[in-house]
Structure 1
Amino acid sequence: MARPATPDDVDAICRALPEVVLGTSWGDLPTYLVRGRGFLLFRPPHPTAVDPVTGEMYDDLLVVTTPSREASEALVGDASSPFFTIDHFRRTNAVLVQQSRLAELDVDELREVLTDAWAARAPKRLVREHLGDG
């Protein structure tokens, strides 16, 4: 396995993608944006997202956009994956992951998920220019 992912890798990967800035959305939530469209946001603790073991609100959640609901379900459905969802996000193209569990992914896996998130929100032409897809 390649090097385990870290929260610092989130920043490095997102900022390496074209036209990405760290801004805000939903008021003042830190969010990585491509041309004003968010693809990853830092979610503050909220009663809708609690650790089922401790009952404590998660304090390190990332909300990551996915290309489709099927992609979300695939990430959440993989028992080896740290991605999960809650009722609030169940019908969206997004998944949650705790920053404290990023090491369960290697950097390449994290890069793939974040690049897919970026591509889901970036203009199609920018995606083609960066990824070389059709």
Structure 2
Amino acid sequence: MPTDPAADRPATPGDVDEICRALPEVELGTSWGDVPTYLVGGRGFVLFRKPHASAVDPGTGEEYDDLLVIVTPGPAEKQALVDDARLPFFTIDHFARTNAVLVQQSRLGELGRAELAEVITDAWAARAPKRLVREHLGDG
């Protein structure tokens, strides 16, 4: 795999758009009414969550205003991301039965860009048509 010097730097909120749009057949649309969402085959894989009482900062009691919801391939992958103390991913009761994690955009710098790209690519692959996954990633 070629070495990308940008891959070693801390991730930024701008990387989310760049990574999502680099994947095949992705469009920025909406879900849940008017929530900006990256979609593949009409299915969301990364969305910008509105502040909600179900997700509050335990330190301040304020609703998070910069959350991303990122789909995971399954419950084991979700748990692995949440359980890794070095990663900023977490979940809330509202997402207990959903294969998705949350992350504050303000904490994306705790990830390397390559790590963020891997998590987003896995999210894309979990929602993309299997044919497209095979064509792009060689599996599916």
- Measured against the shorter chain, the TM-score band is over 0.9
- 1:88-131: CA deviation from partner (whole Å, max 9, x where unpaired): 10221000000000000000000000000000000011000000
Q: Pick from 18, 22, 29: which aligns with 1:23?
A: 29
In the alignment, what sits opposite 1:42? 48
Q: Equivalent residues in 2 for 1:110-125 (5 A)?
A: 110-125=116-131
In the alignment, what sits opposite 1:130? 136
CA-CA distance at 1:35 after TM superposition: 1.3
Gaps of 5+ in 1: none
Asked if 1:98 corresponds to 2:98, the answer is no
Query: Which aligned runs of 4 or more in structure 1 are off by greater than 6 angstroms?
Result: none
Q: Tell me the secondary structure at the aligned position of residue 11 of structure 1.
A: helix
Q: Pick from 84, 87, 107: which aligns with 1:81?
A: 87
Q: Distance in 2 between matches of 1:44 and 1:91?
A: 19
Asked if 1:56 corresponds to 2:55, the answer is no
CA-CA distance at 1:19 after TM superposition: 0.2
Would you say how many aligned residue pairs link Structure 1 and Structure 2? 134
Using structure 2 for the length normalisation, give the TM-score.
0.94
Q: Tell me the secondary structure at the aligned position of residue 85 of structure 1.
A: coil
Q: Tell me the secondary structure at the aligned position of residue 38 of structure 1.
A: strand
**Structure 2 residue identity aligned to 1:120:** A
Asked if 1:8 corresponds to 2:14, the answer is yes
Q: Tell me the secondary structure at the aligned position of residue 8 of structure 2.
A: coil
Larger deviation, residues 85-94 vs 107-116: 85-94
Q: Distance in 2 between matches of 1:41 and 1:76?
A: 18
RMSD: 1.0
Q: Distance in 2 between matches of 1:121 and 1:36?
A: 9
Q: Distance in 1 between matches of 2:102 and 2:66?
A: 10
- 1:39-81: CA deviation from partner (whole Å, max 9, x where unpaired): 0110010001000001010000000000001110000011111
Q: Distance in 2 between matches of 1:106 and 1:32?
A: 21
Q: Distance in 2 between matches of 1:90 and 1:71?
A: 14
Sequence identity of aligned pairs in percent?
77
